[in-house]
Amino acid sequence: MSGGDKLDFEIRPNPAPVSAADRAALLANPGFGRVFTDHMVTIRYAEGKGWYDARVEARAPIPMDPASAVLHYAQEIFEGLKAYRTADGAVTMFRPEANAARFVASARRLAMPELPEETFVESLRRIVEIDREWIPEGPDASLYLRPFMFASEVFLGVRPANEYLYCVIASPAGAYFAGGVKPVTVWVSPDYTRAAPGGTGAAKCGGNYAASLAAQAEAIEAGCDQVVFLDAVERRFVDELGGMNVFFVYEDNTLVTPPLTGTILPGITRDAVLSLAAASGHRVEERPVSFADWQADAASGRLREVFACGTAAVITPIGRVRFPDGEFLIGGGEPGRSTMALREQLVAIQRGEAEDPHGWVRRVC
């Protein structure tokens, strides 16, 4: 197969798929990120050849040489999005083109080849089509899609690799919040930062998440669910959580989120929330929010709600904030009205149960 922008996918069905009975048992309670479908997508890249050998094949371990570049120099990026089963039996995805564009931006920042956006979207369609029976039923169920790419060239040397492997795997996911949405407690890290200006904060690469794990462990030790990072320069302004963007809702109906200055991941859900909030009557602002102002505005009652957003949980209310010198509540620690309204609206659009004025939902099959 030649390496051009238009790739034909070779379909190699899994010769030993999971039985229907075993699949049903797994889908009864899949959790998140622990159960995987029968197939995966792979596409290879070589310098001078381009993208080639696009396949849909049985999910299997990836053979890897100990000198593969990714193991030593961490050239790796990924995405995350969901496919949904609608009430009429169709399967849809939410804004795959936005994920495709962000994947290109991440590749550019990590000095990796850019997968054509149409090929990215087609790879998602292919795995959803062949593994559609793995999409669980239920109001909060979905098929989580994980496209990723890494440097596969066998060499030791600090330079961009000449060979890469792109893959897509899929994992059925149940309700993120068992028993309903509950406010989380967050820890404001006094010592760790997530990203610095000029770094890789705006790219979705594994290194960013690896660097957050020590801070996340600190948060768990403090009895919290997630860590909040402050900016790396002044240690004053809120950046984002370990894996989610953050929003503040004030008494005058203003919704504020930190601006995208290169240190914050441009979340697909974040962008959707900004559009929905503006359409529902919120005044929307992208501006810095200091931790001191967060604490003072919560104490005065001016700040009514805070929530985080991302692909996995969609929108998560934040009820309590802890830091080394104390803690404080947001809105009495209960989910806010605006938070829950935005969450319900966004979930309904994603699942094809509400009007989609922005054309975000894509029918797959």
Q: Which of 282, 264, 265 is nearest to 273 (CA)?
A: 282
Which residue is listed with tokens 């049985």? 58
What is the rounded CA–CA span in Å between residue 320 and residue 322? Answer: 7
Residue 176: closest CA among 210, 208, 203, 141: 141
> How long a stretch of residues is the chain?
365
Nearest to 229, CA basis, from 287, 308, 285: 308
Helix and strand numbers (H, E) in the chain are 8, 18
C-beta neighbour count of 4 within 10 angstroms: 11
Instruction: For residue 194, give the nearest of 136, 270, 141, 246 by alpha carbon.
Output: 246
How is residue 52 written in tokens?
Answer: 């080639």
The C-alpha atoms of residue 337 and residue 342 are separated, in whole angstroms, by 9
Instruction: Tell me the H-state helices in 70-204.
Output: 70-73, 96-109, 117-130
Q: What is the DSSP letter of 93?
A: E
> Which of 129, 125, 119, 115 has the alpha carbon at shortest distance from 362?
125
Q: Which residues of 121-160 are buried (b: 16+ CB within 10 A; e: fewer)?
A: bbbbbbbbebbbebbbeeebbbbbbbbbbbbbbeeeeeee
Cα–Cα–Cα angle for 54, 350, 17, rounded to 5 degrees: 40
Query: Of the listed 6, 49, 82, 204, which one is catalytic?
Result: 204
- Do 89 and 363 form a contact (C-beta atoms < 8 A)? no
Instruction: Let me know if 204 is a catalytic residue.
Output: yes
Q: Give yes or no for a contact between 263 and 199, defined as CB atoms under 8 angstroms apart.
A: yes
Closest CA to 150 of 45, 47, 265, 254: 45
What residues are annotated to the active site?
A: 204
